[in-house]
Structure 1
Amino acid sequence: MAEISERAREIGERVERFVRDIVAPYEKDPRLEDHGPSDDLVRELRAKAREAGVMTPHIPNGHDHLTQLETAYVLKKTGLSPLGPVACNTAAPDEGNMFLIGKVANDEQRVQFLDPLVSGEARSAFFMTEPAMDGGAGSDPGMMQTTCVQDGNHWIINGKKTFITGADGAKVGIIMAKSEEGATMFLVDLPDPAIKIDRLLDTIDSSMPGGHAEVTIDNLRVPASQMLGNPGEGFRYAQIRLAPARLSHCMRWHGVATRAHEIATEYACKRQAFGKLLIDHEGVGFMLAENQIDLKQSELMIDWCAEALDRGENGNVESSMTKVAVSEALFRVADRCVQAMGGMGVSRDTIVEQLFREVRAFRIYDGPTEVHKWSLAKKLKKAELSKHQ
């Protein structure tokens, strides 16, 4: 396995100090709302991140992206608090959107849409998922119903989207719609009167600014110059974004799970019951030992996938395997932390309760576990059948 560079280690150490010392005290701030941190809180945290020199730390020069292995090292540090990725500008969906725009956009589009994201001055949203009850795209993007039709030097977009993370308050949007050529992506300035937020969904998680919105797009006119890449290439571009974005979710939540494990271990080493410390009871001590195993296995999976991406591979198989393994392992970690801490584990006095909620959602977001397993099984079948042709 490749070594983490000194540059990445130095960045990671600065990020860890910032998240533990400056960000963590905000975890009980009243501006933490049901649908995520308020924009006022986001601005305050990001101002402190700029002051500490840890704004968008995985893109340290504003354009020079760290390797995926280095990014994994740094993003796990930002994740040591649920607010760390928000403060350091490594949160979803912005981190994935920055990666995609950086890979596909032209120079003019990068100046208009990427620079404000990298600086942390703007948030973004990725408009792909559609309402399930209307038969729209979800885990199967081929069910896309949102349409785009060319009208001179503009495109007209119509449709409904749902679970659009961060749409409320976003300044940059990436919209996927169906053209005659196939799925097509557009960059848009937000807010726009043609994009109406119908409601914010009440979901189990609460860490992402702007929450998750249900949106109606009604005759949105987008200049042809704001098409991202070429018409009909939307699904291919989504794949460029998908593997790294899945992986960065794993990185961030690994950081939160690590901290929750620290909290549960400290509690078990202080709290006494039945004449001895909780950790001396095998029922508790073994849970914490299992946490340590799951965290290390998750770390190794993340780094393994990151190295595949750094070699230039598309990482679809590796990221599916990693997303399944890590999301399931971190959920076990969260569950054990709650159980080990008893009543304290279900209270909001620590981040342990929040991790449990957030990681439960992560088992669905960016592809449910079962969809990834189904995809992997299809590839196994194809490989096996090819042996006999």
Structure 2
Amino acid sequence: MDFALPPEIDEIRQRIRAFVEERIIPLESDPASYDEHENIARPVLERLRAEAKRQGLWALGMPQERGGGGLSMVGLAACYEEMNRSIFGPVVFHGAAPDDGNMRLLNMVGTEAQKERWLQPIIDGAVQSAFVMTEPDGCGSDPSMTYTRAERQGDRWVIRGRKHFITGAAEAKHFILIARTGEDDRNGLTAFLYHADQPGWRIIRRIPIMGPEEHGGHCEIEYDGLEIADENVLMQRGDGLRATQIRLGPARLTHCMRWTGMGRRALEIAMARVETRKAFGSTLIEKESVQQMIGQAAMELDIGRLLTMRAAWLLDNGSLARKEVSMAKVVVADALHRAVDTSLQLLGARGYSKDTVVEWMYRYARQARLVDGASEVHRMVLTNFLRRQGKDFFAWGAGRG
């Protein structure tokens, strides 16, 4: 087994690393770099995005003919990790959720007309997008609990219902909406495309959250007569669950790719401190208890990135990699939290203050065990695979999990 990156991928990774080190990380210490929701301010973001485009580091998962980088999932794993060594990194390179997952879904299943209308503006960075699935007291990890309905009226679909925690909705222009068109749990959902300027829907509120927010926040939305034409049905009627599964598997994994980078950065900040901070006659790094904390956090991060890379390789080789993605999601979410918590503990009061970005990371990291399926759900998925596969659960190679 060769764990080395192909030279062409490593060259891109190193260019991203240099960009992050030289152009993005220095901005984190300037209050003017932040908007009112603790994300990167739009003027700063647009300037950096223009630089990333000029350097060919833009939308790396999208086809080159559409202006992207054309990287495989393995390539993205290495590059996304480098991006998220800065809290601002992924959005600068157009590798952040939810656009990243929405672009991948549209590129995989959209018609050519849909790609031109709905996908290309997202790739270009001209519009932001949102994936509209989660509902109050309805679907979350279980899409079959969708109650927002699309009813056929003449030559249109008319949508009524409510969604919440829709990431980026307040600034999005292109939306992918999952609604019920039948009673069957597997074939009763359909995916629809609509533009923010269409009537028949409204944002009720931007939901306050514990951590820093993506651009556009996390919103509660009401649908009361939104009309959608057949040409804006994504895939076919009844394919909404399939569309959701196609999108969420890789999207969970790209979260893991980014989170390993954030965890690494948290430990880098801690190491810079404990190498120089003296207490009780020696530097902190010389104390066994500190070494135990850092070693454990570093080990868990590396386990997580190996699981992430394995799942990425399987996806590149035609597997759905469901169980491998679930493993990575659980392990990396925990590893991120341990790395950031360890860093905060070792920094002491400085870590709890806003003098470093660690407290920002700490509030952000808690969502990792919830978003795109709670860790408990993924453990349940793994148990069900073990029940079905028995000894084959541990088979080598590119199985079709």
TM-score, normalization by structure 1: 0.93
Query: Aligned equivalents of 2:297 and 2:80: distance in 1?
Result: 20
Query: Aligned equivalents of 1:379 and 1:316: distance in 2?
Result: 9
**What residue identity is the alignment partner of 1:94?**
D
Tell me whether 1:346 sits opposite 2:352 in the alignment: yes
1:138 counterpart residue number: 140
Shift in alpha-carbon separation, 1:259–1:75, aligned structure 2, 3 A: same
Tell me whether 1:374 sits opposite 2:345 in the alignment: no
Query: Aligned equivalents of 2:167 and 2:349: distance in 1?
Result: 31
Query: Aligned equivalents of 1:108 and 1:4: distance in 2?
Result: 36
2:396 counterpart residue number: none
CA-CA distance at 1:122 after TM superposition: 1.7
CA-CA distance at 1:63 after TM superposition: 5.5
**What residue identity is the alignment partner of 2:113?**
E
Query: Aligned equivalents of 2:41 and 2:192: distance in 1?
Result: 27
Query: Aligned equivalents of 1:20 and 1:80: distance in 2?
Result: 9
Query: Aligned equivalents of 2:337 and 2:391: distance in 1?
Result: 35
2:398 counterpart residue number: none
Unaligned runs of 5+ in 2: 393-401
- Residue of structure 2 aligned with 1:53, choices 53, 56, 64: 56
1:176 counterpart residue number: 178
Query: Aligned equivalents of 1:348 and 1:35: distance in 2?
Result: 12
The equivalences for 1:257-272 within 5 A come to 257-272=263-278
Shift in alpha-carbon separation, 1:367–1:284, aligned structure 2, 3 A: same
Tell me whether 1:199 sits opposite 2:242 in the alignment: no
Q: Is the 8 A contact 2:60 2:68 kept in 1?
A: no
Q: CA RMSD in A?
A: 1.9
Query: Aligned equivalents of 1:257 and 1:344: distance in 2?
Result: 18
2:300 counterpart residue number: 294
The equivalences for 1:303-318 within 5 A come to 303-318=309-324
Deviations 1:7-26 (A, max 9, x none): 22222111111112111222
CA-CA distance at 1:382 after TM superposition: 3.4
2:395 counterpart residue number: none
Tell me whether 1:13 sits opposite 2:14 in the alignment: yes
TM-score, normalization by structure 2: 0.91
Does 282-291 or 303-312 show the bigger shift? 282-291
CA-CA distance at 1:316 after TM superposition: 0.9
CA-CA distance at 1:4 after TM superposition: 2.4
* Secondary structure class of the residue paired with 2:125: coil
- Residue of structure 1 aligned with 2:104, choices 89, 99, 105: 99
* Secondary structure class of the residue paired with 2:265: helix
Deviations 1:67-120 (A, max 9, x none): 111110111111111110111100001111111000010001101111111122
Deviations 1:216-266 (A, max 9, x none): 112111121011000111111111111110000000111111111111000
Query: Aligned equivalents of 2:204 and 2:42: distance in 1?
Result: 19
- Residue of structure 2 aligned with 1:154, choices 146, 153, 156: 156
Q: Is the 8 A contact 1:86 1:208 kept in 2?
A: no
2:169 counterpart residue number: 167
**What residue identity is the alignment partner of 1:199?**
R
Query: Aligned equivalents of 2:7 and 2:156: distance in 1?
Result: 48
Q: Matched residues, percent identical? A: 37
The equivalences for 1:205-220 within 5 A come to 205-220=211-226
Deviations 1:121-148 (A, max 9, x none): 221100000013xxx1112111101111
Shift in alpha-carbon separation, 1:46–1:64, aligned structure 2, 3 A: closer
**What residue identity is the alignment partner of 1:255?**
G
Query: Aligned equivalents of 1:145 and 1:306: distance in 2?
Result: 33
**What residue identity is the alignment partner of 2:13?**
G
Query: Aligned equivalents of 2:27 and 2:155: distance in 1?
Result: 47
How many residue pairs were aligned?
Answer: 383
**What residue identity is the alignment partner of 1:360?**
R
